Amino acid sequence: MQKIRIRYAKRGRLAFTSHRDFARALERAMRRAAVPIAYSSGFSPHPKISYASAAPTGVASEAEYFEVGLQAPVQPDWLRTALDAALPPGLDILEAVEARTSDFADRLTGSHWQIRLPEVTDSAAEAAVAAFLAADEVLVERMTKSGRRTMDARSPVVRMAVTERGPDVGGQPGEVGNTTPEPAAGGAAGPCAILDLVVRHVTPSVRPDDVLAGLRVVAELAPPVPPKVIRLAQGTLTGHGEITDPLVVVGADRAVSGTPST
Protein backbone atom coordinates (compact mmCIF):
# COMPACT_ATOMS: atom_id res chain seq x y z
CA MET A 1 0.00 0.00 0.00
CA GLN A 2 1.37 3.40 -1.00
CA LYS A 3 1.02 6.30 1.45
CA ILE A 4 0.96 9.95 0.39
CA ARG A 5 1.28 12.90 2.77
CA ILE A 6 -0.49 16.07 1.76
CA ARG A 7 -0.39 19.70 2.88
CA TYR A 8 -3.51 21.75 2.25
CA ALA A 9 -4.86 25.21 3.07
CA LYS A 10 -8.17 26.48 4.46
CA ARG A 11 -8.73 29.95 3.06
CA GLY A 12 -11.40 32.61 3.03
CA ARG A 13 -14.86 31.51 4.14
CA LEU A 14 -13.76 27.86 4.01
CA ALA A 15 -11.81 28.52 7.22
CA PHE A 16 -15.15 28.06 8.96
CA THR A 17 -15.45 24.44 7.86
CA SER A 18 -15.08 22.00 10.73
CA HIS A 19 -12.70 19.06 10.66
CA ARG A 20 -15.67 16.74 10.05
CA ASP A 21 -16.88 18.92 7.16
CA PHE A 22 -13.44 18.75 5.55
CA ALA A 23 -13.24 14.99 6.00
CA ARG A 24 -16.58 14.54 4.20
CA ALA A 25 -15.54 16.92 1.40
CA LEU A 26 -12.24 15.10 0.99
CA GLU A 27 -13.87 11.66 0.71
CA ARG A 28 -16.25 13.00 -1.96
CA ALA A 29 -13.31 14.55 -3.81
CA MET A 30 -11.46 11.22 -3.68
CA ARG A 31 -14.42 9.51 -5.36
CA ARG A 32 -14.83 12.22 -8.01
CA ALA A 33 -11.12 12.09 -8.84
CA ALA A 34 -11.13 8.27 -9.01
CA VAL A 35 -8.31 8.02 -6.49
CA PRO A 36 -7.51 4.35 -5.72
CA ILE A 37 -7.91 4.83 -1.99
CA ALA A 38 -7.39 1.90 0.36
CA TYR A 39 -10.05 0.87 2.87
CA SER A 40 -9.88 -0.84 6.23
CA SER A 41 -11.13 -4.40 6.56
CA GLY A 42 -14.07 -5.59 8.67
CA PHE A 43 -17.83 -5.07 8.68
CA SER A 44 -17.60 -1.29 8.32
CA PRO A 45 -14.71 -0.40 5.98
CA HIS A 46 -13.54 3.21 6.07
CA PRO A 47 -11.01 5.12 3.95
CA LYS A 48 -7.43 4.95 5.18
CA ILE A 49 -6.97 8.67 5.84
CA SER A 50 -5.28 10.04 8.94
CA TYR A 51 -5.18 13.69 9.99
CA ALA A 52 -2.63 15.59 12.06
CA SER A 53 -3.11 18.60 14.37
CA ALA A 54 -6.10 20.18 12.65
CA ALA A 55 -6.62 23.92 13.19
CA PRO A 56 -9.72 24.99 15.17
CA THR A 57 -12.93 25.78 13.27
CA GLY A 58 -12.92 29.41 12.13
CA VAL A 59 -9.13 29.59 11.86
CA ALA A 60 -7.53 29.85 8.42
CA SER A 61 -4.42 27.82 7.73
CA GLU A 62 -1.70 27.37 5.15
CA ALA A 63 -0.36 24.24 6.85
CA GLU A 64 -2.88 21.45 7.44
CA TYR A 65 -1.81 17.85 6.85
CA PHE A 66 -3.28 14.43 6.20
CA GLU A 67 -1.96 11.07 5.01
CA VAL A 68 -3.84 8.77 2.66
CA GLY A 69 -3.27 5.08 1.89
CA LEU A 70 -3.71 3.93 -1.70
CA GLN A 71 -4.42 0.51 -3.20
CA ALA A 72 -2.27 1.27 -6.26
CA PRO A 73 0.73 3.60 -6.63
CA VAL A 74 0.24 7.04 -8.18
CA GLN A 75 2.45 10.04 -8.79
CA PRO A 76 2.15 12.56 -5.91
CA ASP A 77 1.85 15.39 -8.45
CA TRP A 78 -1.13 13.70 -10.12
CA LEU A 79 -2.85 13.21 -6.76
CA ARG A 80 -2.27 16.84 -5.75
CA THR A 81 -3.70 18.13 -9.04
CA ALA A 82 -6.67 15.75 -9.06
CA LEU A 83 -7.73 16.48 -5.48
CA ASP A 84 -7.25 20.23 -5.87
CA ALA A 85 -9.55 20.22 -8.90
CA ALA A 86 -12.20 18.15 -7.07
CA LEU A 87 -12.30 20.27 -3.89
CA PRO A 88 -14.04 23.66 -3.65
CA PRO A 89 -11.89 26.81 -3.92
CA GLY A 90 -10.63 27.68 -0.46
CA LEU A 91 -9.75 24.07 0.36
CA ASP A 92 -6.55 24.03 -1.64
CA ILE A 93 -4.11 21.13 -2.01
CA LEU A 94 -0.62 22.65 -1.94
CA GLU A 95 1.88 19.83 -1.71
CA ALA A 96 2.06 16.03 -1.89
CA VAL A 97 4.95 13.69 -1.09
CA GLU A 98 5.28 9.95 -0.80
CA ALA A 99 5.52 8.87 2.85
CA ARG A 100 8.85 7.17 3.50
CA THR A 101 8.83 7.12 7.31
CA SER A 102 6.29 6.50 10.06
CA ASP A 103 7.22 9.35 12.43
CA PHE A 104 5.26 12.18 10.82
CA ALA A 105 3.17 13.04 13.89
CA ASP A 106 6.37 13.33 15.95
CA ARG A 107 7.61 16.04 13.58
CA LEU A 108 4.67 18.36 14.31
CA THR A 109 6.01 19.98 17.48
CA GLY A 110 5.16 23.64 16.91
CA SER A 111 3.00 26.11 14.96
CA HIS A 112 3.58 29.58 13.56
CA TRP A 113 0.49 31.81 13.76
CA GLN A 114 -0.50 35.27 12.58
CA ILE A 115 -3.17 37.08 14.62
CA ARG A 116 -4.74 40.25 13.26
CA LEU A 117 -6.37 42.54 15.81
CA PRO A 118 -8.61 45.09 14.00
CA GLU A 119 -9.15 48.36 15.88
CA VAL A 120 -6.14 47.66 18.16
CA THR A 121 -3.13 49.98 17.89
CA ASP A 122 0.42 48.68 17.73
CA SER A 123 1.31 50.45 20.98
CA ALA A 124 -1.55 48.79 22.88
CA ALA A 125 -0.63 45.38 21.46
CA GLU A 126 3.07 45.85 22.25
CA ALA A 127 2.30 46.75 25.88
CA ALA A 128 0.10 43.66 26.24
CA VAL A 129 2.69 41.37 24.63
CA ALA A 130 5.42 42.73 26.92
CA ALA A 131 3.29 42.06 30.00
CA PHE A 132 2.46 38.55 28.78
CA LEU A 133 6.08 37.62 28.07
CA ALA A 134 7.23 39.03 31.40
CA ALA A 135 4.86 36.77 33.33
CA ASP A 136 6.06 33.41 34.64
CA GLU A 137 2.58 31.95 34.26
CA VAL A 138 -0.67 33.10 32.66
CA LEU A 139 -3.63 30.96 33.69
CA VAL A 140 -6.68 30.86 31.43
CA GLU A 141 -9.82 28.72 31.35
CA ARG A 142 -11.27 26.81 28.43
CA MET A 143 -14.27 24.55 28.09
CA THR A 144 -13.18 21.09 26.90
CA LYS A 145 -14.99 17.79 26.30
CA SER A 146 -14.25 16.81 29.89
CA GLY A 147 -15.40 20.15 31.34
CA ARG A 148 -13.80 23.48 32.12
CA ARG A 149 -10.01 23.32 32.42
CA THR A 150 -7.41 25.77 33.63
CA MET A 151 -4.15 25.89 31.67
CA ASP A 152 -0.99 27.95 31.47
CA ALA A 153 -1.05 29.94 28.23
CA ARG A 154 2.46 31.35 28.79
CA SER A 155 4.81 28.36 28.91
CA PRO A 156 4.16 27.00 25.36
CA VAL A 157 4.71 30.44 23.76
CA VAL A 158 8.16 30.41 22.20
CA ARG A 159 7.94 33.77 20.44
CA MET A 160 5.38 36.59 20.23
CA ALA A 161 5.86 40.06 18.81
CA VAL A 162 3.94 42.83 17.05
CA THR A 163 4.91 42.96 13.40
CA GLU A 164 4.33 45.77 10.93
CA ARG A 165 2.81 43.58 8.24
CA GLY A 166 2.15 39.89 7.89
CA PRO A 167 2.71 37.88 4.69
CA ASP A 168 0.04 37.94 2.00
CA VAL A 169 -2.02 34.77 2.22
CA GLY A 170 -5.25 33.42 0.75
CA GLY A 171 -8.56 35.15 1.36
CA GLN A 172 -10.71 37.99 0.14
CA PRO A 173 -10.88 41.48 1.69
CA GLY A 174 -12.66 41.23 5.00
CA GLU A 175 -12.18 37.44 5.26
CA VAL A 176 -10.08 35.31 7.56
CA GLY A 177 -6.59 34.96 6.15
CA ASN A 178 -6.49 38.28 4.29
CA THR A 179 -3.91 40.85 5.42
CA THR A 180 -5.49 43.95 3.88
CA PRO A 181 -6.69 46.39 6.59
CA GLU A 182 -10.44 46.67 6.69
CA PRO A 183 -12.11 50.04 6.34
CA ALA A 184 -13.14 51.67 9.59
CA ALA A 185 -16.12 53.99 10.03
CA GLY A 186 -15.97 56.80 7.51
CA GLY A 187 -14.12 54.73 4.90
CA ALA A 188 -10.59 55.14 6.29
CA ALA A 189 -8.46 52.15 7.22
CA GLY A 190 -8.40 51.79 11.00
CA PRO A 191 -5.57 50.45 13.16
CA CYS A 192 -4.85 46.75 12.98
CA ALA A 193 -2.09 45.28 15.12
CA ILE A 194 -0.61 42.03 13.81
CA LEU A 195 0.88 39.48 16.20
CA ASP A 196 3.55 37.03 15.09
CA LEU A 197 3.25 33.97 17.34
CA VAL A 198 5.13 30.67 17.63
CA VAL A 199 3.66 28.09 20.02
CA ARG A 200 5.02 24.72 21.09
CA HIS A 201 2.57 21.83 20.78
CA VAL A 202 1.63 20.57 24.25
CA THR A 203 -1.17 18.49 25.80
CA PRO A 204 -3.74 19.91 26.19
CA SER A 205 -2.95 22.15 23.24
CA VAL A 206 -2.64 25.90 23.75
CA ARG A 207 -4.36 27.64 20.85
CA PRO A 208 -4.26 31.28 19.68
CA ASP A 209 -7.56 32.00 21.45
CA ASP A 210 -5.94 30.85 24.72
CA VAL A 211 -3.08 33.29 24.14
CA LEU A 212 -5.58 36.06 23.43
CA ALA A 213 -7.37 35.17 26.66
CA GLY A 214 -4.00 35.48 28.39
CA LEU A 215 -3.50 38.96 26.95
CA ARG A 216 -6.85 39.93 28.47
CA VAL A 217 -5.73 38.54 31.83
CA VAL A 218 -2.39 40.35 32.01
CA ALA A 219 -3.19 43.59 30.17
CA GLU A 220 -6.99 43.77 29.70
CA LEU A 221 -6.46 43.71 25.94
CA ALA A 222 -9.92 43.03 24.49
CA PRO A 223 -10.26 43.70 20.73
CA PRO A 224 -13.63 45.34 19.95
CA VAL A 225 -14.09 43.10 16.89
CA PRO A 226 -13.17 39.41 16.52
CA PRO A 227 -9.50 38.75 15.78
CA LYS A 228 -8.52 37.02 12.55
CA VAL A 229 -6.16 34.09 12.92
CA ILE A 230 -4.19 32.07 10.40
CA ARG A 231 -1.69 29.27 10.83
CA LEU A 232 1.25 30.05 8.57
CA ALA A 233 3.22 26.86 9.25
CA GLN A 234 3.47 23.86 11.50
CA GLY A 235 6.33 21.41 11.78
CA THR A 236 9.41 20.69 13.83
CA LEU A 237 10.27 23.43 16.32
CA THR A 238 14.00 24.19 16.41
CA GLY A 239 16.01 25.48 19.36
CA HIS A 240 15.96 28.93 17.70
CA GLY A 241 12.16 29.07 17.65
CA GLU A 242 11.84 28.39 13.92
CA ILE A 243 9.47 25.90 12.28
CA THR A 244 11.03 23.48 9.79
CA ASP A 245 9.16 21.77 6.95
CA PRO A 246 7.78 18.45 8.29
CA LEU A 247 7.68 16.94 4.80
CA VAL A 248 11.47 17.13 4.48
CA VAL A 249 13.28 13.99 5.64
CA VAL A 250 17.06 14.24 5.83
CA GLY A 251 18.67 11.61 3.64
CA ALA A 252 15.47 10.66 1.79
CA ASP A 253 14.33 11.57 -1.69
CA ARG A 254 11.42 14.02 -1.74
CA ALA A 255 8.70 13.91 -4.40
CA VAL A 256 7.44 17.48 -4.11
CA SER A 257 4.38 18.99 -5.73
CA GLY A 258 2.90 22.45 -5.44
CA THR A 259 3.93 25.37 -3.30
CA PRO A 260 6.83 25.10 -0.82
CA SER A 261 6.00 25.32 2.87
CA THR A 262 6.04 28.71 4.61
CA distances from 241 to 52, 106, 160, 199 (A): 21, 17, 10, 9
- Mean pLDDT over 39-43 rounds to 88
Whole-model pTM: value is: 0.85
Q: Which amino acid is at 179?
A: T
- pLDDT above 90 for 144: no
Q: What is the pLDDT of residue 60?
A: 97
Cα(1)–Cα(41) distance, rounded to whole angstroms? 14
The pLDDT of residue 190 is: 85
CA distance 17 to 11: 10
Residue 124 has pLDDT above 80, yes or no: yes
Return the amino acid letter for 195.
L
Residue % of the chain over a pLDDT of 70:
85
Q: What is the dihedral of CA 218, 223, 226, 227, to 10 degrees?
A: -70
Query: 253 pLDDT band (50/70/90 cuts)?
Result: very low
| Alpha helices by DSSP H, 98-166 | 122-134
How far apart (Å, rounded) are the C-alpha atoms in residues 214 and 131?
A: 10
Higher local confidence (pLDDT), 29 or 186: 29
**Which residues 6+ apart lie within 8 Å of 116 measured at CB?**
166, 179, 192, 193, 194, 195, 227, 228, 229
> CB neighbours of 78 closer than 8 A, spacing ≥ 6?
none
| Mean per-residue pLDDT of the chain | 87
Distances (CA, A) of 26 to 19, 41, 51, 52: 10, 20, 12, 15
What's the pLDDT tens digit per position in 212-229?
Answer: 999 999 999 999 999 999
pLDDT for position 248: 86
Q: How many residues can be counted in the chain?
A: 262
